[in-house]
Amino acid sequence: MTSETDIPTPSREAGLSQLSAFLPYAGNDYARLRNVDYGPRENTQVSNLSPWIRHRLINEQEVVAATVSVHGTRGAEKFIQEVCWRTYWKGWLEQHPSVWRDYNTALEEHIEEVTNTPELAHRLEAATSGSTGIECFDFWSRELIDTGYLHNHARMWFASIWIFTLKLPWELGADFFLRHLIDGDAASNTLSWRWVAGLQTRGKTYLARPDNIMRYTGNRFAPPVGLAQQEIAIQAPPPPQLRPLKFEPQNRPNEDAGLLLCEEDLNPEFLSERGWHFSTAMAVQATANRSILPTAPHVIRFARGSLEDALSRSGTAEVEENIPTRDYAAQIKGWAQRHKLSVVVLPYLPVGPTADALAAVWPTLKQAGIRVRMPVRDWDRLAWPACEGSFFKFWNKTGKDLANVNIGISLSIPRSNRRPST
């Protein structure tokens, strides 16, 4: 099991230090070696920034800006594209929220099916405990549970074997990832599994091949035998309808505002840059809402530490020490009323489990005469409307421009002399 010391340090400072360590190698080195999976704690040829970016302890915009300052846009294009994939998935799901709802509905149905089908339960247990007999797959399953991380290429192989070789429902695999990945994100995780299954880009699937696995893992495993040679048709609802984005206006700062912190965006300094001043800050944790099944303890620990770090950086006169994990409406309302707040402000909550968990809070605050404001970052406001079609359509339309946008970036990165091993 993952110990307290094994998880990345959940702080903005640690994220900036990791960024500093990786920056010299974000250009040609990354482009050349990014697909190679050297194994647990050996993958220093990739950035390993995803836990901090996922919680926005550091955000996509400042990571890209720092990278461009070292390598230029063209020199670091591959790495910048990988950062922008996260933005693209967010923007796509924001415009197709029914996909998240359909996933959760299907997941509940499959969990009930597992309860009533011993054969399916046995196959699922083998996959999630690392006892299928497929050496590489079993290794990745245990690695995920032990470390809360998998190399991106391993995630693709794993998902392909799960769906096409083991013939398990993709929703159960996506849930397994979301509950154990420290960087687990509703958009990136759900849509990546859909892509492997051939649902995101209809008819285009990803099949794991033995030669590809052997090549990009340095022959660490016995050659996998019996992998599916062709995809299977996955049943799914019709392609989702696009929901136009509706961003709230840039609201004038209010002196009676309180800052509410959620694990989706823990770099709220942009609110201060817009002129907001907060008399008090409170954090809420909705990590357990990722699934109706238990979320891994190390995932909860990292999110908790990240919330505490953000509270320490909030700059408010008073900080609510208690971080609620349930009964959100009553506790947030109580906090707001104790501090006589007329407005509660939090960075925009994207489609996902935190937004679901807090959905009942906003009517409660409205009834109490407390307004809620969710400002959208300029990066998201610029990028998300272009996330309608494929990634490369987005990249050619807007993504390249994001690499050259410097919207109020002021970044002090700790120096590091550590060279990633390759």
What number is the average pLDDT over the span 358-379? 96
Whether residues 90 and 126 share a domain: the answer is: no
Whether residues 175 and 90 share a domain: the answer is: no
Q: Is 392 helix (H, G, I), strand (E, B) or coil?
A: helix
237 assigned to some structural domain: no
Domain finish residue from 216, 237, 272: 216
Handedness of CA 338, 270, 96, 199 (dihedral sign): negative
Report the pLDDT value the prediction gives residue 417, as an integer from 0 to 100: 41
152 assigned to some structural domain: yes
Report the pLDDT value the prediction gives residue 422, as an integer from 0 to 100: 30
What pLDDT digit, counting tens, does each position of 105-159 carry?
999 999 999 999 999 999 999 999 999 999 999 999 999 999 999 999 999 999 9
Report the pLDDT value the prediction gives residue 390, as an integer from 0 to 100: 93
162 assigned to some structural domain: yes
Report the pLDDT value the prediction gives residue 144, as an integer from 0 to 100: 97
422 assigned to some structural domain: no
Report the pLDDT value the prediction gives residue 410, as an integer from 0 to 100: 45
Number of neighbours of residue 267 by Cβ within 10 angstroms:
21
In which band, very low, low, confident or very high, does the pLDDT at 3 lie, cut at 50, 70 and 90?
Answer: low
Q: What Å distances lie between residue 63 and 16, 76, 284, CA to CA?
A: 9, 11, 26
pLDDT at 70 over 70: yes
**Is the distance from CB of 257 to CB of 344 less than 8 angstroms?**
yes
Provide the whole-model pTM.
0.94
Whether residues 327 and 384 share a domain: the answer is: no
Percent of the chain with pLDDT over 70: 95
Report the pLDDT value the prediction gives residue 131, as an integer from 0 to 100: 98
Report the pLDDT value the prediction gives residue 391, as an integer from 0 to 100: 95
The distance from CA 282 to its chain's CA centroid, rounded to whole angstroms, is: 22
Range of the domain at 112: 104-216
pLDDT at 409 over 90: no
Whether residues 51 and 75 share a domain: the answer is: yes
Q: Name residue 383's amino acid.
A: A
Report the pLDDT value the prediction gives residue 369, as an integer from 0 to 100: 97
**Is the distance from CB of 347 to CB of 268 less than 8 angstroms?**
yes
238 assigned to some structural domain: no
Whether residues 153 and 190 share a domain: the answer is: yes
Q: What Å distances lie between residue 270 and 74, 100, 251, 346, CA to CA?
A: 27, 28, 14, 11
Percent of the chain with pLDDT over 90: 82
Instruction: Output the domain CATH number for residue 153.
Output: 1.10.579.10
For residue 203 the two structure tokens come to 């008819």
Whether residues 212 and 317 share a domain: the answer is: no
Report the pLDDT value the prediction gives residue 2, as an integer from 0 to 100: 52
Name the domain count of the chain.
3
pLDDT at 1 over 60: no
Whether residues 370 and 385 share a domain: the answer is: no
**Is the distance from CB of 88 to CB of 400 less than 8 angstroms?**
no
Of residues 403 and 120, more confidently modeled:
120
Whether residues 277 and 305 share a domain: the answer is: yes
Whether residues 91 and 111 share a domain: the answer is: no
Q: State the residue for tokens 């809070």.
A: 361
What number is the average pLDDT over the span 15-44? 94
Strand partners, 258: 280, 344
**Is the distance from CB of 200 to CB of 389 less than 8 angstroms?**
no
Report the pLDDT value the prediction gives residue 321, as an integer from 0 to 100: 85
What number is the average pLDDT over the span 239-251? 86
- Give the separation between CA 390 and CA 395, rounded to whole angstroms: 9
Instruction: Output the domain CATH number for residue 343.
Output: 3.40.50.620
227 assigned to some structural domain: no
407 assigned to some structural domain: no
Whether residues 293 and 398 share a domain: the answer is: no
What pLDDT digit, counting tens, does each position of 193-223 carry?
999 999 998 878 999 999 999 999 999 999 9
Mean pLDDT of the chain: 92
Whether residues 261 and 313 share a domain: the answer is: yes
Number of neighbours of residue 109 by Cβ within 10 angstroms:
12
State how beta strands 343-345 and 257-261 pair: parallel
326 assigned to some structural domain: yes
- Give the separation between CA 215 and CA 217, rounded to whole angstroms: 6
Whether residues 348 and 371 share a domain: the answer is: yes
